[in-house]
A and B are shown apart, each in its own frame.
Chain A
Amino acid sequence: MSEKKIRILIAKPGLDGHDRGAKVIARALRDDGMEVIYTGLRQTPEMIAEAALQEDVDAVGLSILSGAHNALVPQVIEKLRANGQNNVFVFLGGIIPEADIPHLLEAGVTKVYGPGTNTQTVCADIHQAIDNE
């Protein structure tokens, strides 16, 4: 029996066109030993949830710089749950005003990261969430 690998989907919902941050985190997670499914720019919540389902991921990492997080993130979580993926953790990175965070956590986000977050912190958080499940 082989060891269980952490599988994580990295996606960029919404219309903003920068995925440098998403790629940096994708590589960092790979270098930490995870299997990272990278899906690129301009994903709708439906597309993200469908990919997460087909890939049977343990976690989804969303990168949002456009300011549309309050609308998009709860939709992604809702779609994940509607597909039966009740245990998938959702991490969010981007430019997220402090005031929005409580609402996002309440919607089911595990952790929110601002710009310049140390990737090691993110890796550690993901391990902790999944290993303690």
Chain B
Amino acid sequence: MPSALVEKALQGDKLSLTRLLTEVEAETPKGIQALDLIYSHTGKAHKIGITGAPGSGKSTLVAALVKELRRLPDKPRIAVIAVDPTSPFSGGALLGDRVRMLQIQHDPDVFIRSMATRGALGGLSDRTEAFTQVFDAAGYDYVLIETVGAGQSEIDVVNLAHTVIVVDTPDMGDDIQAIKAGILEIADLLVVNKADRPGVEGSVRNLQNMVNAGHGKDLNLHHHRFLTEKNQEKLEHIDAEDHWFPPVLKTVATENIGIAELAEKILEHGKFLKGHGLWELKTELAMHEIVARNLRLGLYRRWLEDADKTKLQAIMNDLLEKRISPNQAVKALMAL
């Protein structure tokens, strides 16, 4: 079924694009249908995640990076998705990342959209991935995703981005190293931003040591079970040559220092992924993540609809009165 909104959005009409994003975010029937319509147009965009502690300079870095990427010979179109947390108390959110991105918002080929997490805990919103699909289909060559200021568990971006940039700063102190180990594992590029501050060399050395000690990236994928044969094989034959060593870079985002090098490394990483069959593998893993999640939800809903409610309650009673264990309850529930 064709949709005027989708068609116009894909043709570059900003008003349609922005409304489409709203429909997708609210999961309206229109928004859900739009995702079906655009899917065949996706697959070209390079998705780049930017994560790191609150205030480390992610937004400033994104703006500088966008300016740099826009200077590439092919003048790529760039979308930015900036995620900030929803307040658990009010359900509202203060989305402030744009304040640092003012210099790039005049550019007609740059589109910045702020997004609240709306209860999701992984540093993104549940709809962030869908947004990347919309931008991808609408012809944006790069999609930059700024996560909420992350500690260690907010790492959903790894399932979504081809390239993950972890931003650190010199003044974080040694006591936070423990946090870094977790987040380091998801980094393709490590950036020590605010390199105009004292202690930079120490931070760089620390990160370098951690990378060398093997805290680096690992395609930690053993839980994936139904990949295509081709990627399954690739996964089983990942060797040393396929290992990307995350470089540690220094930047001063406020002064555009080190940004050209960062952009270069991003392109290099993209090429590396493609050259090693890893782009395709990552794409499938990302898809797998989405399909598995939606399948889980869908099966659960269907099961709940179909289940005999009286029997269901009887089983829950048995569980609460300790006649059966949670495991036994699940077995019984699955047999309903």
Chain A residues close to B by CB (< 8 Å) = 1-5, 26-27, 29-40, 43, 46-47, 50-51, 53-56, 83-85
Contacts of B28 in A (CB 8 A): 1
Does B256 touch A at the CB level, under 8 Å?
no
Residue of A nearest to B19 (CB): A56
Give the distance in Å from the alpha carbon of A43 to the alpha carbon of B111 in the complex: 17
Contacts of A31 in B (CB 8 A): 87, 89-90, 92
Q: How far is the CB of A36 from chain B (nearest CB, A)?
A: 5
Does B209 touch A at the CB level, under 8 Å?
no
Contact status of A35 and B18, CB under 8 A, knowing A40-B99, A54-B105 = no
Give the distance in Å from the alpha carbon of A36 to the alpha carbon of B116 in the complex: 9
Contact status of A50 and B92, CB under 8 A, knowing A5-B116, A35-B116 = no
Scoring B26, B102, B112 by chain A CB atoms within 10 A of each residue's CB, the highest score goes to B102
Give the distance in Å from the alpha carbon of A26 to the alpha carbon of B96 in the complex: 10
Query: Which listed residue (A2, A83, A85) contacts B118, Cβ 8 A?
Result: A2
* Complex A-B, nearest 3 residue pairs according to Cβ-Cβ distance, in ascending order: A30-B92, A40-B99, A56-B18
Q: How far is the CB of A37 from chain B (nearest CB, A)?
A: 5
Contacts of B26 in A (CB 8 A): 1-4
Between A and B, 23 residue pairs with Cβ closer than 8 Å are: A2-B25, A4-B26, A5-B116, A27-B94, A30-B87, A30-B94, A32-B92, A34-B92, A35-B86, A35-B95, A36-B93, A37-B98, A38-B99, A39-B99, A39-B102, A40-B98, A46-B106, A54-B14, A54-B111, A54-B113, A56-B18, A56-B22, A83-B14
Contacts of B102 in A (CB 8 A): 39-40, 43, 47
Give the distance in Å from the alpha carbon of A84 to the alpha carbon of B28 in the complex: 22
A30 & B98 in contact (Cβ 8 Å cutoff) = no
A84 & B94 in contact (Cβ 8 Å cutoff) = no
Does B34 touch A at the CB level, under 8 Å?
no
Contacts of A26 in B (CB 8 A): 94
Chain B residues close to A by CB (< 8 Å) = 14-15, 18-19, 21-22, 25-29, 86-87, 89-96, 98-99, 102, 105-106, 111-114, 116, 118
A-B contact number at CB 8 A: 86
Contacts of B94 in A (CB 8 A): 26-27, 30, 36, 38
Contacts of B113 in A (CB 8 A): 54-55
A37 & B95 in contact (Cβ 8 Å cutoff) = yes
Contact status of A85 and B111, CB under 8 A, knowing A30-B92, A32-B92, A56-B21 = no
Q: A39-B102, A83-B15 are in contact. List 18 more A-B contacts (CB 8 A).
A: A1-B27, A1-B29, A2-B25, A2-B118, A3-B26, A4-B26, A32-B92, A34-B92, A35-B95, A37-B95, A37-B98, A38-B95, A51-B112, A53-B15, A53-B18, A54-B14, A54-B18, A83-B14
B92 & A55 in contact (Cβ 8 Å cutoff) = no
Contacts of B19 in A (CB 8 A): 56
Scoring B19, B25, B86, B93 by chain A CB atoms within 10 A of each residue's CB, the highest score goes to B93
Q: How far is the CB of A18 from chain B (nearest CB, A)?
A: 15
Give the distance in Å from the alpha carbon of A29 to the alpha carbon of B91 in the complex: 11
A51 & B15 in contact (Cβ 8 Å cutoff) = no
Query: Which listed residue (A1, A35, A84) contacts B92, Cβ 8 A?
Result: A35
B92 & A36 in contact (Cβ 8 Å cutoff) = yes
Give the distance in Å from the alpha carbon of A36 to the alpha carbon of B96 in the complex: 8
Give the distance in Å from the alpha carbon of A38 to the alpha carbon of B25 in the complex: 19
Q: How far is the CB of B82 from chain A (nearest CB, A)?
A: 10
Give the distance in Å from the alpha carbon of A83 to the alpha carbon of B26 in the complex: 22
Contacts of A51 in B (CB 8 A): 98, 105, 112
Scoring B22, B89, B94 by chain A CB atoms within 10 A of each residue's CB, the highest score goes to B94
Query: Which listed residue (B15, B27, B29, B90) contacts A85, Cβ 8 A?
Result: B15
Contacts of B118 in A (CB 8 A): 2, 5
